[in-house]
A and B are shown apart, each in its own frame.
Chain A
Amino acid sequence: MAKKLRKKYISSGPMPVPKWENVLVVGAGIAGLEAASQLLSLGYKVTLIDKASYAGGHVASWHKLFPDRTDASSVITGLLSSIAGATLLLSTEILSVHRLGEGFAVVLSGGETLYFKAILLATGFSLFPAEKKEEYGYGVYNQVITNSDLEQWFNEGNDPRINDRKISSVGFVHCVGSRDIKAGNPQCSKVCCITAVKQAIEIKQHFPDAEVWCFYMDLRLFGKKYEDFYISAQKDYGIHFIRGRVSEVSEAIDGEVIVKAEDTLNGRPVKIKLSLLVLMAGIISRNDIQPLAEDLSVMMDSDGFLLSRDNITGITRSQRPGIFYAGTCTGPKTIPESLAEARSAAIDIHNYLRGL
C-alpha cells in the first residue's frame, strides 16, 4: 500500500506551484505573521494588513512569555524578519469584500481595491474588559490592575498604581470574564492560569518580601513545562494558591484593598488585605469581528469566535471556499498553538489554490 502510494506520488512529479496568486492575511499578530512567512516561502504574493499601527498584536505589548520567560519582543522581531517579501499595510482595514470569480475583490481603507485568490483571517481576540466585573473594582480602585497592565509595567515600569505604594502583598484573580456564563464567556481562556503563575513569579522577583496569592477555580496548566513552572512557584517562590473565586473587592481605610473569597479546600471564607490585585482578564472574541464576518459570509460560533468547518480536522477552514482561519480568531490559544495553526493554514491555502 505504502509502496503504491509512494510510486504514485513520484510518478505524478512535483505539482506546478501557481506563484502569481495573491493571498490576503488579515491581522499582523503572531498567527498572521507566521502564516505570511510560510505563504511567502511557498511562493505566494502576500498582503498583510492590520487595524493597528504596529505589527505583533497582543504579543507586541507583552513582556516575557511562559514557560521559558522568552522575550516577547524577540518573538515578534523574528517573525517580522521572515516576512520581508510581503506587503505589510498597517492602520488598514477592510471596507468591503466582493466575491469575484474564484477570488475576492477587497476594498481597503487606504482606498485601493485589490484582488486575492484566498483570504486568511488571523484577526485574534479581545481582552475581556475587566471593568465589566464591577465587583472587582477595576477602574474604581487604584489598587486593581489587569494582567495586561502588569505586562506593560514590566516593560515600561511607569504605572503609578504600582510605583506609588509599598507593595507588601499581591493577589492574582484567575478567570476574570472567562468560564463566566453571566459575563457571556463560558469558554476557558486557557492561557491565564499559566500567565498568572508566570506573573506571580515575576512579581515575587520584583518584590521579594511581598506575599503573593493566587485565587483560582481550577488550575488548568496543560502545556509543556507548565507543571514544573507551577511547582517552582510553590517551592522556590512561596506563592500561595487558594482554590476559591474572589467574590468582591473593597477598599480599606489604609488604601489597600480587601479581597473576599472562599478557601474551598478549608471550607471557610477568607479575607485578606492586599496592596495590589491583578485581574487575569481572559481571551474573548473580538467585539468588532461581526461586520467583517458578515461581509465575508463566514459564520460565528456560539461562543462568538469564528466558526470552523470542523473543530477537530478543519479548524483552519471556514465554511466558505477561499477563506481560512489561524490563531485566536477561532478560540483561545497559546502562542505555540497559534503559530502551529498558522503553518497549518498556510498549507491548507496552498492545497486549496493548487486545486483550483
Chain B
Amino acid sequence: MIYQGKQKIWSDYQKEIPDDHWFYVRSCIRQNFFPASEKYFLGICRDMLGKDIYETEHHTTCGGIAYHSDTIPQETAMTIVARQFALMTEAGYENLVASCITSFGNYTETLETWHEFPELEERIRENLWKACRREFKKPRYVAHASDLIYKFRGEIAARAKYQLVDRESGEPLRVVEHIGCHYSKMFPHKGVGGAEYPCVLSGMAEAWGGKVIDYPERRHCCGFGFRQYLVKANRGYSVSNTHKKFESMEPFHPDLIITNCPGCPYFLDRWQYVISEMTGKTYGENGYGIPVLTYEELAGLVLGIDPWDLGLQIHQVAVEPLLNKMGVPYDPETKYLGLDRKDIMKPGLPTFLKCC
C-alpha cells in the first residue's frame, strides 16, 4: 500500500463543503435503528460548534426506498425531492445536508438528471405546482451529514475525551470503514475521496486515532441492496454478501466498523447474529461480534457522551468490548434503562453470538 497514492486520488475528489447554514433532512429509518445518531449530529454541529442547522417538521421521506425497490417511478421520486427543495427555499436556505445516504444519492441523482435533461426539471416544477402549489430553487450545495462531520473531524479531535486507541496496548484501533453505495458510487466526484478509495470515514477514523483496514472486499455492498433484502425470497443474497465481507475482513481482526449509511450499519450489525445462527461463526474476539457504529455514534463516543445515551444498547452486536478498549466508562446496570429510567427490557440472547 502506497499511502501517498491514495492521498493523490483523494486530492482529485475534494468537494466544497460550506461551513455553515444548512437545511437538514432526516432519514426515514435511522431514528429507529440508531435512535440518537441524528440527535447527536445536531448536538455536535449546533450546540458544540455553534452552526446554523435548520430542520422542519414538514419534511417527508425522499422516496428513495420506494424508488430503489422499483415501486415508484423516477418522476414521482423527483417530485418528492422537488418538494424538499421547496421547503428549503421557503426556509431561506441554499445548502442541503441529508442524514441518509440514499437521500443524498437521490438528491444528487435528481440534480444531475435535471442538469442533463432540463426539460425534465421543467416538468417536475409543473408537477410540484399542480400537486401542492410550491416552487423551489435548487440547492447550491448538497452534502451528506458525514461530509460535515468529516469537515469538522479536527474540531471533534481537539475536544476528544477518548481516542480510537487500545488503552492497554497503546495501539490504534483497527477500523473498517464502510461507505454506503449511494454516497459516491453513482457520482464519484460528489463524495469526499471518490468511489474507489473514499476518505470521508477513513479521514474521521484517522483523525480520532484509529487505523483504517484496507481489506479486499472493502468496496463490496453491505448486503442490503434494497430488493435483495426487501423481497424475502432474495434475502439469502443479502446475508451472503454480508457474509462475504466478514470473511474478507476477519483476518485483519477489526475492532470496529464505522458506516455512513442507514442500511449498512443495520445489516452489518444484525446479519452478524443471523450468520452466527446459520453457521455458528462469530467475527469478533471471544465469541463477540464486531461492533458497528454510525459516524455520529463514533463521534459521540470520542467526545465522551454516555454510550447508553447514544443508543448503543439498541445494537445487536455488543459494544462493550470496544468501550473497554477505548476506556469509555459505562454502567452495565443502566444499559437497558431508557431516558426516563424506564425499563426498556432486555433482549433475548442468541445461541452463539456473545452479547453481554
Interface of A: prevailing SS? mixed
Which residue of the partner chain B has the closest CB to A248? B219
Within 8 A of A (CB), among B1-37: 1-2, 5-6, 8-9
CB of A265 within 8 A of chain B? Answer: no
Query: Of the candidates A140, A252, A253, which one forms a contact with B197 in the assembled complex, judged by CB atoms under 8 Å apart?
Result: A140
CB of A141 within 8 A of chain B? Answer: yes
Asked if B252 and A253 make an inter-chain contact with CB atoms under 8 angstroms apart, the answer reads yes
Within 8 A of A (CB), among B201-242: 214-219
Q: With the chains together, A252 CA to B216 CA distance in Å?
A: 6
Asked if B194 and A251 make an inter-chain contact with CB atoms under 8 angstroms apart, the answer reads no
Residues of chain B lying within 8 A (CB to CB) of residue A141? 1-2, 5
Q: With the chains together, A258 CA to B219 CA distance in Å?
A: 13
CB of A134 within 8 A of chain B? Answer: yes
CB of A126 within 8 A of chain B? Answer: no
CB of A337 within 8 A of chain B? Answer: no
Min CB gap B223→A, angstroms: 17
Within 8 A of B (CB), among A133-147: 134-135, 137, 139-142
Min CB gap A237→B, angstroms: 29
Residues of chain B lying within 8 A (CB to CB) of residue A134? 9, 194-197
Which residue of the partner chain B has the closest CB to A140? B5
Residues of chain A lying within 8 A (CB to CB) of residue B218? 250
Min CB gap B5→A, angstroms: 4
Binding site for A on B (CB under 8 A): 1-2, 5-6, 8-9, 194-197, 214-219, 251-252
Query: Of the candidates B9, B219, B251, which one forms a contact with A140 in the assembled complex, judged by CB atoms under 8 Å apart?
Result: B9
Q: With the chains together, A115 CA to B253 CA distance in Å?
A: 70
Min CB gap B12→A, angstroms: 9
Within 8 A of B (CB), among A228-249: 248
CB of A149 within 8 A of chain B? Answer: no
CB of A131 within 8 A of chain B? Answer: yes
Q: Given A250-B216, A250-B219, A258-B216, are A139 and B8 also a contact pair (CB < 8 Å)?
A: yes
Residues of chain B lying within 8 A (CB to CB) of residue A140? 1-2, 5-6, 9, 197
Asked if A250 and B2 make an inter-chain contact with CB atoms under 8 angstroms apart, the answer reads no
Q: With the chains together, A137 CA to B215 CA distance in Å?
A: 14
* Across the A-B interface, the 4 shortest Cβ-Cβ residue pairs: A139-B5, A140-B5, A134-B196, A250-B216
Q: With the chains together, A142 CA to B3 CA distance in Å?
A: 10
Residues of chain A lying within 8 A (CB to CB) of residue B216? 250-252, 258
Min CB gap B20→A, angstroms: 32
Which residue of the partner chain B has the closest CB to A141? B1
Query: Of the candidates A131, A137, A139, A250, which one forms a contact with B217 in the assembled complex, judged by CB atoms under 8 Å apart?
Result: A250
22 A/B residue pairs, CB under 8 Å, sorted by A: A131-B5, A134-B194, A134-B195, A134-B197, A137-B5, A139-B2, A139-B8, A139-B9, A140-B2, A140-B5, A140-B6, A141-B2, A142-B1, A142-B2, A248-B196, A250-B218, A250-B219, A251-B214, A252-B216, A253-B251, A253-B252, A258-B216
Residues of chain A lying within 8 A (CB to CB) of residue B251? 253
Min CB gap B331→A, angstroms: 37
Asked if A251 and B5 make an inter-chain contact with CB atoms under 8 angstroms apart, the answer reads no
Residues of chain A lying within 8 A (CB to CB) of residue B2? 139-142
